[in-house]
């Protein structure tokens, strides 16, 4: 599949932009913890950085999603999928403003989750990805790979609608279904970095439960993020904020 981008160029000056780094994975895979640690680390180095999370439950759309996730309301699967997407769209303008101002955004879940979870319910993949097209594509995606069984052992599991072992197994399968032969991989120690489109770091958490995942992040992930920030700092208006069309979606969305 050919890659076709609709790109929103940066301003015509030489100001650098921030990086958009997304964390993906199953529920209770450690995304929130690792996002927070990465933000703290980058702040300590003097970077302007913010932690974002989807769904953003502070908005009116986010409150509808929260009620659904906490089993306080019932919604059709198509309806909730569109609400999740709308929640990302209502933050798009602010996201672009922050990135252009030089703030790096570390994001806990993004479009990939929306598609993986909804296709796990049986919704059509093409239909699920359609509302995501046009959102800003990330510069780096970190997939925290954990077995559904191991995630279920973590504290607080089962408190929300999707935290059911059998459903999480389906979600895991649908994340992995997004792999295809067009991926180009590069091995870096225990990490595999997929280099086509937005790079993906596939971090197998099971390997680090006894040795400490923070060590792995400092050795591998931090280096990748810092290299990314250095690259963006040295570029100018020629480096776009990308909004992927349908043709580019497969390369930059739902690959884990």
Q: Which residue has the higher pLDDT, 3 or 83?
A: 83
> Which residues are CB-contacts of 249 (< 8 A; sequence separation ≥ 6)?
129, 132, 133
Looking at every residue in the chain, the average pLDDT score rounds to: 76
Higher pLDDT, 232 or 33: 33
pLDDT for the residue 37: 85
Q: Are 212 and 182 a contacting pair, CB within 8 Å?
A: no
Q: What is the CATH number that goes with domain 5-252?
A: 3.40.50.300
3-state secondary structure at position 241: strand
Q: How far is CA 112 from CA 44, 68, 131, 226, in A?
A: 29, 19, 12, 23
| 143, containing H or E segment | strand 140-145
CA distance readout (Å), 223 to 164, 168, 227:
35, 31, 6
How do the domains of the chain map onto residue ranges?
Answer: 5-252
Q: Which pLDDT score is estimated for 167?
A: 96
Mean pLDDT of 188-200: 48
Residue 9, pLDDT > 60, answer: no
Query: Whole-model pTM above 0.85?
Result: no
* Interval 52-74: pLDDT, tens: 999 999 999 999 999 999 999 99
Helix or strand run (H / E) with residue 54: none
Joined together, the tokens standing for residue 64 give 């509808």
């Amino acid at each position: 599949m050919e890659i076709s981008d609709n790109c929103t160029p940066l301003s015509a000056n030489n100001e650098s932009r921030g990086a958009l780094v997304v964390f993906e994975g199953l529920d209770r895979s450690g995304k929130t913890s690792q996002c927070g640690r990465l933000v703290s680390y980058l702040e300590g180095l003097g970077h302007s950085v913010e932690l974002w999370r989807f769904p953003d439950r502070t908005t009116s759309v986010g409150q509808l999603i929260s009620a659904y996730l906490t089993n306080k309301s019932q919604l059709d699967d198509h309806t909730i999928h569109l609400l999740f997407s709308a929640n990302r769209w209502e933050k798009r303008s602010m996201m672009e403003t922050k990135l252009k101002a030089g703030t790096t955004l570390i994001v806990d879940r993004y479009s990939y989750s929306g598609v993986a979870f909804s296709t796990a319910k049986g919704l059509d993949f093409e239909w699920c990805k359609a509302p995501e097209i046009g959102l800003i594509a990330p510069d780096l995606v970190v997939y925290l790979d954990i077995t559904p069984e191991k995630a279920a052992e973590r504290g607080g599991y089962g408190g929300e609608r999707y935290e059911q072992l059998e459903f999480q197994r389906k979600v895991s399968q649908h994340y992995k279904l997004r792999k295809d032969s067009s991926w180009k991989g590069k091995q870096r120690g225990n990490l595999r970095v997929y280099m086509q489109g937005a790079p993906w770091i596939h971090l197998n958490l099971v390997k680090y439960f006894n040795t400490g995942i923070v060590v792995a992040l400092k050795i591998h992930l931090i280096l990748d993020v810092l290299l990314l920030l250095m690259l963006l700092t040295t570029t100018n208006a020629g480096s776009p904020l990308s909004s992927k069309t349908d043709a580019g979606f497969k390369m930059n969305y739902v690959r884990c």
